[in-house]
Structure 1
């Protein structure tokens, strides 16, 4: 039992020591992230955090309207979360936007996540939609 407890504590310490959160300025974000913010988000920049661990560097950006945007190491957006509020969608494919407008005309997009091949959208009516990388609808949850 003591061995298990000690092992758990060591693992917890290792996880905490390996991940660092560093406050940074907007100018310290990758250029692609800076350009994305300037083009698509008019709400003022509040603060940013650079997350560093053994395998990856991520940037979390917080805007004055409570929107949170996560970028990868190169500055490509991974997640945009409006915290329940409508997001600007000028960076999404037209095909995706057209689908949402036709099928859910009263809903707004409040959260977007992307991986290499899938975009996940959360709507204000709590419906989740998945699209492929070119904007073709996959499924609704």
Structure 2
């Protein structure tokens, strides 16, 4: 009886682990949500899409990662809203989609640096500069701290 319970427990654990694994597939950029394609054509019009990966993210749904020919990576959530933009090799990314208070703060405090990557969570933005500094802003773009 103990072996049967143990075997069942092991099988259930393996099944849960298998089902919770991220599923990843390569898709065409035309298969991205409309908002993601609009973002790309508006803010990265000169860059070509190299490839796109669609990944199932457990309970949070789908996530799309777009790889541009210049090495930039952009992550979109299931609705096509950007969650992360990372320039390649610490190069500057366009600032046209970044909150104005963040851009102003960086330009004022770090005039020789540019924004190399930005990640947004529910309540804050994590901004990495080309000089290596990592800044955190709240959801409104107010500076909170340096990490």
TM-score range, shorter chain: 0.7 to 0.9
* CA positional deviation for 1:18: 2.9
Counterpart-to-counterpart distance in 2, 1:99 and 1:131? 10
Q: Which has the larger radius of gyration?
A: 2
Q: Report the equivalent of 1:66.
A: 71
Counterpart-to-counterpart distance in 1, 2:116 and 2:17? 35
TM-score (norm 2): 0.84
Task: Determine whether 1:131 maps to 2:134.
Answer: no
TM-score (norm 1): 0.87
Counterpart-to-counterpart distance in 2, 1:110 and 1:53? 25
Unaligned runs of 5+ in 1: none
Counterpart-to-counterpart distance in 2, 1:127 and 1:70? 21
Counterpart-to-counterpart distance in 2, 1:115 and 1:89? 18
Q: Pairwise CA RMSD of aligned residues?
A: 2.1
Q: Report the equivalent of 1:44.
A: 48
> Which structure: greater helix fraction?
2
Unaligned runs of 5+ in 2: 1-5
Kindly indicate whether the alpha-carbon contact (under 8 Å) linking 2:20 and 2:58 is maintained by their aligned counterparts in 1: no
- Runs of 4+ in structure 1 off by over 6 angstroms are none
